[in-house]
């Protein structure tokens, strides 16, 4: 049992955080629109998450602090400090606000299935999150919601077995390919829903609660890899079940469309299960994103304050309010969710580049700086993400 505990901790929470409504919606879209053809993109996203989250976790392990605190130590003064502050803070605010809108939109889809459509759901979800964050009693609620998300994930595993997919086609889907028919916006969305920039800040800040200097760094790396691979496998299963439902599902525009892929196992009760899962995933993620932004700001500005301080609360309130406002606009929840994933993927290279820089700083990490393979993998992830982001922006605006 003690050996098993080594593989569950901060990284497990990170994996649970990216298995939210954005992942469910984006992976369903990938399966419906491209069958198994984008499994390679999901595999790359999983690999990129392992690489970057390992750097973040190692930073938290060595310094017992977060990414924001590392920035303060690395850039104590000068123009560079303010440029880096502006880029990182901008990425956090924009990325987290977009992701929060997607989380609340996912919770809306859940309530639509459970109770019925209503324009008040964003206000109710926002109010519940505000109350829980303000009084600071959200941990037990978050654990319950994460348990519900994991239950839904098991349902996808059982459904994937039941539908008997074509394994040859699945294997072909893991071979990278890019042609005129490739939906690059969907590729970048798959990356954005898996490699979440705010999780890089959150991971470093939470590692110190479990991993101390007397623990083996190898165990931390194993925990990180195991947790992220489990989360990635859930995403792959969602793509597979969605691809198997293509005959019944031509487009994904509502929560009922998302539930169709579970019908082979649960029949009409799949609406209730999907609704419960979306609601749980939406609210749990809507609690996490504002807090991550507040912790990042606290580290960036070296605030020596607790969670009840007005500065800390002001940050998460801002993110939560922006998320609610976007969600109550007359935009389809599925579109809001997809936009949030694309936004995060486009912002990812900025945060990843900063993390790679810190990962090579002897001033911060001493002798635990990146090795050759970490740097090669890190640079590869950043370059590929940049190229995909440019390709996606081009697909929208037709620059060339």
For residue range 17-49, list pLDDT tens digits in order. 677 777 888 888 888 888 889 999 999 999 988
Chain segment 194-240, per-residue pLDDT in tens: 888 778 877 877 776 666 665 677 878 888 888 888 888 888 988 88
State the CB neighbour count (10 A cutoff) for residue 371.
10
Domain boundary assignment for the chain: 2-395
Mean pLDDT calculated for residue range 124-142: 80
Give the pLDDT of residue 40: 92
- Is residue 164's pLDDT more than 50? yes
pTM beyond 0.85: the answer is: no
Q: Tell me which residue has tokens 């239950």.
A: 151
Give the pLDDT of residue 189: 82
Higher pLDDT, 121 or 333: 121
pLDDT > 90: what percent of the chain?
7
- pLDDT tier at 249 (50, 70, 90 boundaries)? low
pLDDT > 70: what percent of the chain?
85
Give the pLDDT of residue 6: 61
Pick the CATH number of 2-395 from 3.30.450.20, 1.10.287.3510, 1.20.1740.10, 1.10.20.140: 1.20.1740.10
Q: What average pLDDT is seen over the chain?
A: 80
Give the pLDDT of residue 350: 81
- pLDDT tier at 321 (50, 70, 90 boundaries)? very high
Q: Tell me which residue has tokens 């920035």.
A: 71
- pLDDT tier at 1 (50, 70, 90 boundaries)? very low
Give the pLDDT of residue 399: 41
- Is residue 395's pLDDT more than 70? no
Phi, psi of 112 (to 5 degrees): -60, -40
Give the pLDDT of residue 39: 93
- Is residue 148's pLDDT more than 80? no
Give the pLDDT of residue 332: 77
């Amino acid at each position: 049992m003690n050996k098993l505990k080594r593989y569950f901790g901060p990284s497990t929470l990170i994996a649970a955080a990216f298995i939210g409504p954005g992942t469910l919606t984006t992976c369903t879209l990938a399966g419906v629109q491209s069958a198994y053809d984008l499994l390679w993109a999901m595999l790359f996203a999983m690999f990129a998450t392992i690489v970057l989250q390992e750097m973040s976790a190692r930073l938290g392990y060595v310094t017992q602090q977060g990414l924001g605190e590392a920035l303060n130590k690395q850039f104590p003064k000068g123009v560079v400090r303010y440029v880096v502050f502006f880029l990182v803070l901008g990425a956090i605010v924009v990325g987290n606000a977009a992701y929060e809108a997607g989380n609340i939109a996912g919770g809306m889809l859940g309530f639509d299935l459970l109770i019925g459509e209503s324009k008040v759901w964003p206000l109710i979800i926002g109010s519940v999150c505000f109350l829980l964050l303000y009084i600071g009693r959200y941990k037990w609620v978050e654990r319950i919601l994460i348990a519900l998300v994991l239950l839904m994930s098991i349902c996808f595993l059982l459904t994937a077995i039941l539908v008997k997919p074509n394994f040859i086609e699945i294997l072909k889907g893991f071979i990278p390919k890019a042609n005129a028919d490739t939906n690059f916006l969907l590729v970048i969305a798959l990356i954005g829903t898996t490699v979440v920039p705010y999780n890089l800040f959150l991971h470093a800040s939470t590692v110190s609660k479990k991993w101390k200097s007397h623990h083996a760094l190898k165990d931390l790396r194993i925990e990180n890899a195991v947790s992220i691979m489990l989360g990635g496998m859930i995403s792959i299963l969602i793509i597979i079940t969605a691809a198997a439902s293509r005959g019944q599902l031509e487009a994904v525009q509502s929560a009922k469309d998302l539930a169709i892929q579970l019908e082979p196992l649960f029949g009409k009760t799949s609406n209730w299960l999907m609704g419960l899962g979306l609601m749980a995933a939406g609210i749990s993620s809507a609690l996490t994103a504002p807090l991550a932004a507040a912790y990042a700001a606290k580290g960036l500005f070296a605030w020596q304050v607790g969670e009840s301080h007005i500065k800390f609360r002001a940050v998460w309130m801002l993110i939560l309010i922006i998320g609610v406002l976007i969600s109550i606009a007359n935009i389809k929840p599925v579109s809001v969710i997809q936009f949030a994933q694309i936004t995060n993927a486009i912002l990812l290279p900025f945060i990843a580049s900063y993390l790679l820089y810190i990962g090579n700083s002897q001033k911060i990490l001493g002798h635990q700086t990146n090795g050759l393979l970490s740097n090669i993998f890190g640079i590869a992830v950043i370059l590929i993400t940049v190229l995909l982001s440019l390709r996606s922006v081009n697909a929208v605006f037709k620059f060339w």
